[in-house]
Amino acid sequence: MTVLQKKTGINRLLFAFKHSKNGLMSALQYEAAFRQELVCFIMLTVLSFWLPITSVEQILMLASLILVLIVELLNSAIESLADRISMQWHPLIERAKDYGSLAVLLALLIAVAIWLVILLSKFTF
């Protein structure tokens, strides 16, 4: 029996970076929702540099957008695993996919709420 030797030190970091890069490339290739959210993230990030907001507000706004990307990736991971297990309909697989979708919606609502609260406080009289 072979014992799995885990990478340590700089090798672990290099392999982690390689897998992260592979994940990004895969998400860009296969996940339309991720691509759409990434485009929104880029556009809103650029916009945030021209808004009359504090650094803390900008970090909070950008962190909320990153949260959406993270949750979308986790949702895509759940869907990929579910599809690997079975392409046939099953109530538990449907429930897992629905939970992932709900998590994305909640992350989007958090981002919208943060952006609205900050922007409305700056632009309303």
Residues tagged active-site: 72
d(CA 57, CA 43): 17
Helix/strand/coil for 25 = helix
CA distances for 51 relative to 22, 67, 108, angstroms: 34, 21, 20
How far apart, in whole angstroms, are the C-alpha atoms of residue 63 and residue 116? 14
